[in-house]
Chains A and B, each alone.
Chain A
Amino acid sequence: MPSRVMARGIEGVFHDLGEFKVEGIISDFSPREEAILKNMSVDVIIVDPAIFAHSSAGNAKQYISGYTDAPVVAFPSVFMTEEAARQYDAVLSLYDSPADIIHKLRSAVSSPKDSAPTEGSELSAREKDILICVAKGMINKEIADIFNISIHTVITHRRNITRKTGIKTVAGLTVYALLNNLIDASSVE
Chain B
Amino acid sequence: MNEMKFFSPDMKMSDLIEINYRLLQVLARLGMNIGFGEKSVARICAESGMDTNAFILICDMYSCPGYTPTGEALKAADPMSVVRYLHNSHSFYIEDGFKALEEIMDELVSPCSDNQKNVILDFLHEYRQEVEKHFEYEEKVFFPYVESVVKGLSGGDYSAATFEENHSNIEEKLNDLKNIVMKYLPPACNRKTASDVLYALFSLSEDLEKHTNIENCVLVPMVNRLEAGKEA
Contacts and interface: CB of A to CB of B under 8 A. Distances in A.
A174 to B, nearest CB: 8
Interface stretch (A34-42, A64-72, A145-153, A165-173): A165-173
A180 B184 contact: yes
A185 B120 CA distance: 12
Interface stretch (A12-20, A23-31, A112-120, A126-134): A12-20
A19 B66 contact: yes
B208 to A, nearest CB: 15
B49 interface: no
Interface in A168-186: 168-169, 171-173, 175-176, 178-180, 184-185
Given A16-B4, A102-B66, A169-B172, A178 B179 contact: no
Contact of B123 (A102, A175, A184, A185): A175
B180 interface: yes
A99 interface: yes
Contacts of A178: 115-116, 119
Most buried by A among B3, B118, B180: B180
Given A16-B2, A176-B184, A167 B179 contact: yes
Contacts of A180: 184
Contacts, number: 65
A178 B118 CA distance: 10
A68 to B, nearest CB: 27
Given A175-B180, A176-B180, A166 B175 contact: yes
A19 B114 CA distance: 46
Interface residues of A, number: 22
Interface in A92-113: 98-99, 102
B176 A179 contact: no
A168 B66 contact: no
Interface in B98-128: 115-116, 118-120, 123, 126-127
B229 interface: no
Contact of B65 (A17, A172, A179): A17
Interface string A154-165: 000000000001
B24 interface: no
Nearest to A173: B176
A99 B179 CA distance: 22
B66 A175 contact: no
Interface residues of B, dominant DSSP? helix
Contact of B177 (A16, A18, A99, A172): A172
A16 B5 CA distance: 12
B183 interface: yes
B171 to A, nearest CB: 10
Contact of B126 (A167, A171, A173, A176): A171
A172 B173 contact: yes
A169 B173 contact: yes
A165 B119 contact: no
Interface string B168-210: 0000110111111001111000000000000000000000000
A102 B65 CA distance: 10
Given A16-B4, A166-B175, A178-B115, A172 B66 contact: no
The 5 A-B pairs with the shortest beta carbon distances in the complex, nearest first, are A172-B176, A166-B179, A99-B65, A17-B66, A178-B119
Interface of A: 16-19, 98-99, 102, 165-169, 171-173, 175-176, 178-180, 184-185
Interface of B: 1-4, 65-66, 115-116, 118-120, 123, 126-127, 172-173, 175-180, 183-186
20 contacts: A16-B2, A17-B65, A99-B65, A102-B65, A102-B66, A165-B179, A165-B184, A166-B178, A166-B183, A167-B176, A168-B175, A169-B173, A171-B123, A172-B180, A175-B120, A175-B123, A176-B180, A178-B116, A179-B119, A179-B186
